[in-house]
Structure 1
């Protein structure tokens, strides 16, 4: 289990209640679909993906809801299922966008369906198209289930509407952040550090941290000032998490992360590391390597060397430290129970120090 998962306290509500509820939600949707044999295979793949994961976002939501005095455990579990289904949907779509065939060292949905089609005689291009189409549909199903769960919450209409508004904003911001991320990777215009940080806030912070914390607060009936404070805290947590993720993506241990340390460079991902390194005098000599789909270890080492020698890694590490200080200051001043302050502080530390 990752540092982020272990850093969070367990809420009185058993987190495994989320797993059971996810199975119920998916079983209902599957029954409504009237799927063919091929469709059943898609549901099987989606079920497999939903059965894994650390449940970081559901745990965050349930812990925060309990700490804020919330008592509607059933609605909290449903909301936790919604954020997990959103996470699953975005992961699936992200793999399609990044043209990835694997996730955590195993075939993802695109890879599974493409491989099956090739084994049945399809050409590589057609098999890839079939795999990507299947993955897009699987992500659509997960996203629809997430909205359905929230829309059916057994709470008063005003509260349900407020929670749907929070969720809708998270989806919209995440989509905007994802599109901006892809746009920056085209390198038709030079990405500034400010561009990169804004993208991180939208792509990662909005759905991974802000949505769980704010949904929990709304469900618990927290005051508007608390919701505003948690929003600010969540935005910083998301940026810290993603900055560390980008460092791990280039300098991490593949055996622990299950992700190639070549993939971000091959995709031409515009990270803060790259934005800083681009200002170095040695950057033009390696610039053409970024985004090279055939990049090998030798080329990757050249890029990493410039990133290190330019001071870009040191600057990002300093940015992470600075934001950890900022978020802990916000946490200390927040008008929330002490137990939630402890949870959020531990989460901030975990986000900044994790290695996988």
Structure 2
């Protein structure tokens, strides 16, 4: 059974950068990954693309042929993909039954909030066997402004209700958050979304005219109680691994055994089927969910409170690691030369 992520978010939230970073991480971990570009306007793709919607339709062609603007043309492209889903399905089958797929979605937020085409595509992907999770990226700088933060909460909530998938909201570019000014609260206040009444004073000060409206929005968000955030610094390995573990739990991939994992005693024999389709007993006994590592307060310390100290510490560790690698390489070289001399003596 294939797994995947529907990577969505507003323009500039870092979707393509995240996909590229995920490809690099999975390549290093020796995990299979395929990235599908579903953005017909994206002609500068940074990652290796397994399937590109440009082979089916492009935004520029639609705009030229039908006289549509960028937003209208994007909606047309998604409707065209929905109507020609068999094109996508045929190419997805070529990736194999154990594929892990990232769907890079266009940045127009209406596609994931109120337009039906993307929702139909996701539903049809689920019907053909994909276990998907929505990964909704939001630029972390929005938390530096209370009104913008409320708007991001509304956008995230609407996306969750529209796509109807296991959902991970992500504050991307958290490593840049200190550039936008001081936070009114600790970072965990923004990620856990527990008591938004604390925003009232800030909202009254910043935009008193809309304070009541903003608090009404906060009440709606709290009534649903669905929104929360993970953090992401795409160039930080620990951050990427933490988010990957959260997504694996959401999709159920964490319970899929590796290909060479031994079967526990009493499990059904299923060597002839893909790993992702083996019985749950096998998967559960050969996988360990474990406790989620990482803490938002650690993230705040790393990227907000003590970034310079952490950067200096990491540079020191990198230098030490480089020196160790260089010393190990020199030792191997000396040992190889010694072995060569010994062979020469033995021949004599």
TM-score range (shorter-chain normalised) is: under 0.3
Greater C-alpha Rg? 2
Using the size of structure 2 for normalisation, the TM-score is 0.27
Structure number with the higher strand fraction is 2
Structure number with the higher helix fraction is 1
